[in-house]
């Protein structure tokens, strides 16, 4: 810095000494243009130093995260109450909107009834196994009796003690009782399979009913929307009587969060040559003319839309952009107590890289002039 000032001062004295003190050369328009041209190039030292060592941006805005408020309902539902005032800070968990819950309450009642029925059905399955086991025992007993009679008549018929048709009848009865045993055993197997339909020892019918009840309770709970974080609704457009639900594609409101606001400033790419995370920053927020806030570099967003190509069947085309893409720098700011930090607020930002420290006072003067100029700029009433 002092070298640059020395060179500039020496040049001014040199011009004065040659043209005005000693009058070795006569000062005219041509020499005036030459002197100005050389002097202007000397001033480039300050321009280059400030641009690279203390980059400055007036394209800077406050950014706050927003959450889209979208109802999670299974069918079109009437908004019955709006419980939040616009532009008023609310706490996480505070109710914001309440929808008509008639249909969803009935769905919970129905799911509760289905759960009770499933629990009773599980008990019935145990009794079905007992009944099927007894049916198998009865079928075995009937078969044993029929086989006894069949053997007795097989001895009586050859001796003339009984008719052949009696033996035929018991033969048919044995075959019928054998079929009944197979049927009873199949029923017992079915009853056991139904009883054994379990996950971790719980009947699947009960689990299904519990899942349906939980789903119904979930949608009933979502008939009231709560604040996801500390923040506020800025533009309140939702009104009682609005119908929302599965046919609605967009959000009914935007929730501006309170936590972690930051400033996003854009710079020409060449100005970020020496910018790194953690470097100190000064911010002149337009909302507070004459004040300078401090902060630091949180991140440099090394990406722009000009470097993105979406999947497509079209071949890429290349055109020289009107302006080269600017790079964004994320800046955290130390906001004083009682100051507002509005989303979208405009500011000027100066980053101090730690290099060329002798030039810093010029940038500090620059950003303070910007801040104080906000008292009268723009010139309208």
β-bridge pairing 56-63 and 346-351: antiparallel
Query: Can you spell out the DSSP letters for 254-314?
Result: EEEE-S--EEEEEE-GGGGTT--TT-EEEEEETTSTT--EEEEEEEEE---GGG-----SS
Question: Which pLDDT value is given to residue 35?
Answer: 64
Q: What does each of the 381 residues of the chain score in pLDDT, given as a tens digit?
A: 444 455 556 556 665 666 666 666 666 677 566 666 666 555 666 677 788 899 999 999 999 999 988 888 888 888 999 999 888 899 999 999 999 999 999 999 999 999 888 888 877 777 777 877 887 888 788 878 777 877 776 777 677 766 777 777 877 887 887 888 788 788 778 767 666 676 777 777 788 888 999 999 999 999 999 999 999 998 888 889 888 866 555 688 889 998 889 999 999 988 999 999 999 999 999 999 999 999 999 999 998 887 778 888 888 777 776 767 789 999 999 999 888 899 999 999 999 998 878 778 888 988 998 999 899 877 766
Question: Which pLDDT value is given to residue 1?
Answer: 43
Report d(CA 209, CA 112) in Å as an integer.
8
Question: Which pLDDT value is given to residue 105?
Answer: 93
Question: Which pLDDT value is given to residue 3?
Answer: 41
On whether the CB atoms of residues 100 and 77 are closer than 8 A, the answer is yes
């Amino acid at each position: 810095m002092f070298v640059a000032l020395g060179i500039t001062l020496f040049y001014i004295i040199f011009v004065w000494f040659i043209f005005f003190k000693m009058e070795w050369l006569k000062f005219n328009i041509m020499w005036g243009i030459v002197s100005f041209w050389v002097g202007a190039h000397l001033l480039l030292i300050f321009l280059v130093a400030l641009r690279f060592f203390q980059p400055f941006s007036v394209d800077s805005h406050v950014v706050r995260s927003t959450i889209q408020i979208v109802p999670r309902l299974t069918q079109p539902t009437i908004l019955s109450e709006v419980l939040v005032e616009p532009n008023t800070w609310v706490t996480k968990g505070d109710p914001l909107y309440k929808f008509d819950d008639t249909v969803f309450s009935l769905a919970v009642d129905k799911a509760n009834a289905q759960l009770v029925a499933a629990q009773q059905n599980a008990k019935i399955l145990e009794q079905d196994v007992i009944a099927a086991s007894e049916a198998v025992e009865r079928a075995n007993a009937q078969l044993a009796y029929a086989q006894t009679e069949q053997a007795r008549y097989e001895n009586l018929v050859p001796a003339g003690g009984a008719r052949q048709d009696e033996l035929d009848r018991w033969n048919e009865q044995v075959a019928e009782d054998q079929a009944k045993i197979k049927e009873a055993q199949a029923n017992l197997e079915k009853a056991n399979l139904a009883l054994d339909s379990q996950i971790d020892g719980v009947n699947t019918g009960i689990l299904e009913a519990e899942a349906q009840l939980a789903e119904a309770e979930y949608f009933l709970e979502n008939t009231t929307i709560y604040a996801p974080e500390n923040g506020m609704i800025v533009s309140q457009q939702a009104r009682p009587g609005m119908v929302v639900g599965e046919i609605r594609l967009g959000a009914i409101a935007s929730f501006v969060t309170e936590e972690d606001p930051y400033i996003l400033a854009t710079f020409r790419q060449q100005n970020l040559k020496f910018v790194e995370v953690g470097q100190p920053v000064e911010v002149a927020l337009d909302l507070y003319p004459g004040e300078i806030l401090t902060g630091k570099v949180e991140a440099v967003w090394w990406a722009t839309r000009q470097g993105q190509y979406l999947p497509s069947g079209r071949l890429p085309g290349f055109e020289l952009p009107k302006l080269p893409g600017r790079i964004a720098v994320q800046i955290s700011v130390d906001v004083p107590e009682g100051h507002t930090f509005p989303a979208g607020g405009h500011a000027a930002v100066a980053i101090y890289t730690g290099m060329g420290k002798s030039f810093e006072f010029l940038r500090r003067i620059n950003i303070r002039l910007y801040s104080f100029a906000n008292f009268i700029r723009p010139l309208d009433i």
